[in-house]
A and B are shown apart, each in its own frame.
Chain A
Amino acid sequence: MFSRNLLTSCRAPSKDVSCLRRALATEASLGSSTTASTAPPASSKRSTRPKITTAIILNRSPTLTRTPTPFERAYYAYQARIRRALHNPFPYEFYFKQGSLLETRFNIEEAEREQLAFGKDFTGEVVTNEKEEANKRAVAQLSQQEGEGEVIMSRTHEADIKKDTKSLDRKGARNLYLLLRVDQDGKQVWRFPQGGVEKGELLHQAAQRDLFAECGPHMDTWVVSRNPVGVSKSPAEATKDGQEDVTFFYKAHIMAGQVRPTQASVSDFAWLTKEEIESHVSKDYWESIKDMLSEH
């Protein structure tokens, strides 16, 4: 556990020191406090009731293992060498028939592993050159029969090369989140899918309905919990209609399918990592959502 924490703190994909912070439920307030003194206090009872919105943080989980940093690789190699040096004897007579092909392969691979750990000078059993060649040929034949040596898929997808932010296959080792570009008061802004709550409707139901309303029914999603994972409030003075705006964020996963915006107001969408989201959204919006997103 210690080593995991140690490595996590060394990984630091982000620029600032916030790498130790985990994405947790948070409460953040939108809007600056300077506007409070200038705006008149809300007088009527009606306007004090906040406008409730639900937003969905639609997440595509990593599909690839992450690439270890050079430090991590060095750390793992060092630990692996110690473990190999201290390992208990392995009773291979039980597992392999004497003189079988499997035993020959094991011996060759074991010799390679020993040399990798302890250096080129480390040699185990001494065999004649002729025998060694024969062994290698036999093992090569065995591995060919077993279908080894097939080309492994590349970790970089086509979408990464083309910089296609609409593809769900991009950045396989990272968490991606869905952002929509919408027309808001004549301005084009990026935000999570969101919508209002109807009367008598539960918040998580509203979140699911709003997601489908904006992104189309051509995807399979799962809203993680009935509890919101975060909330952001913009004070009544900061909003246009003088009504306090409260947005509840829900986390959801996409399992299959793709977004197909149904409304004319949604002009574009993108699957982005946490750092990319920062450069897309406004500063206030970023402050309210940053702690709900994963660093990984």
Chain B
Amino acid sequence: MSAQAGAVARRNVTRFGRAPPVTKNLRKNPRTLLPQPHVKNLLVRDIAPCRIMDHYYNTLQDDLMYMTYVHQAAPPKQRQIRLTFDPNDPYARNRYNPPVGGSQVGRKPAPLVTPEDVIRLERIQIHTMVKEAIGSRNNLLPAIMAIRALTGETYQGGGRHSNDGIQIVKARKSVGGWLRPGVPVGVKVDLKGPAMYDFLGTLVDFVLPRIRDFPGFILPPASSSVNSPNAVSGVVSFGLPPAAMGFFPQIEVNQDSYPKMFGMHIHLVTNATGLGAQNRARALVSGFQIPFIKK
């Protein structure tokens, strides 16, 4: 009896893995004659467990919270630097409340560390510029195909409506004798979710260890400004030489198909903000085994 019940349970489980038997054919679109799904907005979620995402949620997240936590018994007292806006004051009522003067970039302190607000990777942007594309935009095609092979992203591919796919970067400014606004000069792609972690895993396991004479990405000197927009942005950026592209397994398998290899900029965008954001972002990224060294 129990063996039979076990067999039934097993069959039920594997049944999900196969397509269900077709009992009624889908309605067809009269214009395209293609079958229409029953629902209008299909939402497609993760299709496989993700090793590096699991690593983040199992180990890194806790560690980073402990590392970046700053204990505060009570919220710090704000120093009164000017008169505050009092809406009950008859003078101030119905008047414009101007914001505090000056740019706040690089002056805002980091927000408090809470379990909900631990630093995490939001997206990875890969960007490559193709100089030859200025002369002939056909030269952009190999770069598009290479980035597509690397990431597997296409415009709204696989039913993911927020996926922009591989985008063409166009020139914004006019550079005398060289560039005009609107000329396509490069390609970029934004990765999010499991695709982002998978790309990071490929980079760390296959590419970085095989780059010749590569000890790690060089950190800025200790004397560099802590208030610069770069230092408070929470983005870690680095570049890969054209030779490194051949080390990606997706490219390596048929490297002859590409007329040339392209270098790329990789931006790891985190949710860190405020003072010291980039340092915290580097702490997170080094948890994914991306090496950094001091010059």
Contact = CB atoms under 8 A, between A and B. Distances in A.
Interface of A: 1-4, 8, 22-25, 61-62, 65-66, 68, 70, 72-88, 91, 94-97, 102, 116-119, 175, 224-225, 227, 229, 251, 253, 294, 296
Nearest to A87: B158
B158 A227 contact: no
Given A75-B16, A79-B47, A86-B42, 16 more contacts: A8-B57, A62-B54, A62-B58, A73-B13, A73-B17, A78-B16, A82-B159, A83-B44, A86-B157, A88-B156, A95-B149, A97-B257, A102-B254, A119-B19, A175-B59, A224-B67
A74 B66 contact: no
Contacts of B47: 76, 79-80, 83
Interface of B: 13, 16-19, 21, 42, 44-49, 51, 53-55, 57-59, 62-63, 65-67, 69, 71, 115, 145, 149, 154-159, 193, 253-254, 256-257
B42 A102 contact: no
The 5 closest A-B pairs by CB, nearest first: A74-B16, A86-B159, A3-B45, A83-B158, A225-B66
Nearest to B35: A85
27 contacts: A22-B62, A25-B69, A62-B54, A65-B54, A74-B16, A75-B16, A75-B45, A76-B47, A82-B44, A82-B158, A83-B47, A83-B159, A85-B159, A86-B157, A86-B159, A87-B154, A87-B158, A88-B157, A95-B145, A95-B254, A102-B254, A224-B63, A224-B66, A225-B63, A225-B69, A251-B63, A296-B58
A113 to B, nearest CB: 12
Given A94-B257, A117-B19, A22 B66 contact: no
Contacts of B71: 227
Contacts, number: 115
Contacts of A76: 46-49
Contacts of B155: 88
B257 A225 contact: no
B18 A119 contact: yes
B interface majority secondary structure = helix
B46 A94 contact: no
Nearest to A292: B62
A144 to B, nearest CB: 17
Contacts of A72: 49
A82 B66 CA distance: 40
Nearest to B68: A225
Contacts of B46: 3-4, 76, 79
A24 B115 contact: yes
Contacts of A23: 62
Contacts of A87: 154, 157-158
Contacts of A24: 65, 115
A77 B62 contact: no
Given A61-B58, A102-B254, A251-B66, A77 B16 contact: yes
Contacts of A86: 42, 44, 157-159
A61 B51 CA distance: 13
B16 A227 contact: no
Nearest to A103: B254
Contacts of B69: 25, 225, 227
A165 to B, nearest CB: 21
B66 A77 contact: no
Nearest to B52: A65
A66 B58 CA distance: 11
Given A102-B254, A225-B69, A294-B62, A74 B115 contact: no
Contacts of A227: 66, 69, 71
A35 B65 CA distance: 36
Contact of B154 (A73, A77, A88, A118): A88
B68 to A, nearest CB: 8
Contacts of A84: 158
A118 B26 CA distance: 14
A77 to B, nearest CB: 4
A225 B253 contact: no
Contacts of A65: 49, 51, 54
A81 to B, nearest CB: 6
A117 B13 CA distance: 15
Nearest to B48: A76
Contacts of A118: 19
